[in-house]
Amino acid sequence: MTLLILSALTLAFLLPISGRPAEIYDVVTKVAVFVLFFGYGARLSTAETLAGIKHWRLHLMILTFTFVVFPLLALPLFLIPDGVVTDTVRAGLIFLCLVPSTVQSSINMTSLAGGNIPAAMISATASNVLGVVLTPMLVMLMLPTTGSGFSWEIALNVFVQLLLPFILGQLSRVVTAQFMARHKQRLKLLDQGVIILIVYGAFSEMFSSGLWRRLGWSDLLVTLGFTLPLLAFMLWLTWHAAGWLGFPRKDKIAIMFCGTKKSLVTGVPIASVLFPASMVSMLVVPLMIYHQAQIITSSMLAARLSATTPPEDVDA
């Protein structure tokens, strides 16, 4: 899995997809994601799904990491002296800490690692829906904005692209449950394949956009010096805090992957509404860097956790 991810990254650097082919590739990826979440719904029993919905302690913990701990960790950025980093990049680093978690990759990684998939789905979705309101509020509190409100279109997209196929999958269990149970291990290949599609697409967009050429060396160093340690610290904190509070392994996996992610898909539209158009392309660069780092790191961690899954969890 790690070799496939690195291969996809290398291919995106050497042969990034753009233009009309990129549009077609995006459609293919969305179809693959729809099929993936249909599969999640068909794989999970209704009892497992209801248990995930009722797991309020886990959901509260993930939302606390996303909308409380991350913003608090952004506060030291205000202490960086002027001139060390541009105001736009500083605002981008703070904005990174205010956006909601991803849905798609959070659940993908949780599934690949053998974590609590229903709980991850509920928490990640709640993060995105609440982020439609909470992220603009946090931005208005911590950053100057010129926005004029925010559309619920993002919440609708989350439902149509992710929750709808999951619900359809649940309804299909009358005829698909036995098939899904027989091919449970093989279906993990679908999880891995979608991750590879996402990695190649995300890095292709990054390398073909040319945004990197607009970053000064000091901006880049400060961005890397903040985002990479931030990701490492949050991965460590979410995993150990979940252990300290007595969560079982499957819940710890869901908390770690959902509580450390930041959504580029949700963050960019929010930024386009809340900030002047001239700022947006540079402002989202820290989010792009964090997004790529979380995909690579989480994929490797998920593969490692999957390889070390206790026998009792494999059979469950």
Per-domain boundaries in the chain? 2-306
Mean pLDDT of 193-197: 75
Is the pTM here over 0.85, yes or no?
no
Give the residue-averaged pLDDT of 82-90: 80
Q: How confident is the model at residue 149 (pLDDT cuts 50, 70, 90)?
A: very low
Residue 164 scores a pLDDT above 50: yes
Element (H, E) at 164: helix 164-171
Q: Report the run of H or E that residue 262 belongs to, with start and end.
A: none
pLDDT tens per residue, range 277-287: 567 667 778 88
3: confidence class by pLDDT, cuts 50, 70, 90: confident
Domain 2-306 class in CATH? mainly alpha
Q: How many CB atoms lie within 10 A of CB 96?
A: 27
Q: What is the pLDDT of residue 71?
A: 95
- Residue 177 DSSP code: H
| HSE-up (13 A, CA, CB side) for residue 149 | 3
One-letter amino acid of 64: T
User: How many angstroms separate the CA atoms of 272 and 149, rounded?
Assistant: 11
Give the model confidence (pLDDT) of 202-240 as tens digits. 667 767 766 666 667 778 888 899 999 999 999 999 999
**316: closest CA among 58, 117, 107, 163?**
117
Mean pLDDT over 125-154 rounds to 70
Q: pLDDT band for position 272 (50/70/90)?
A: low
pLDDT mean across residues, the chain: 80
- pLDDT above 80: residue 48: no
Residues whose CB falls within 8 Å of the CB of residue 67, separated by 6 or more in sequence, listed in order = 98, 100, 127, 130, 131, 134, 138
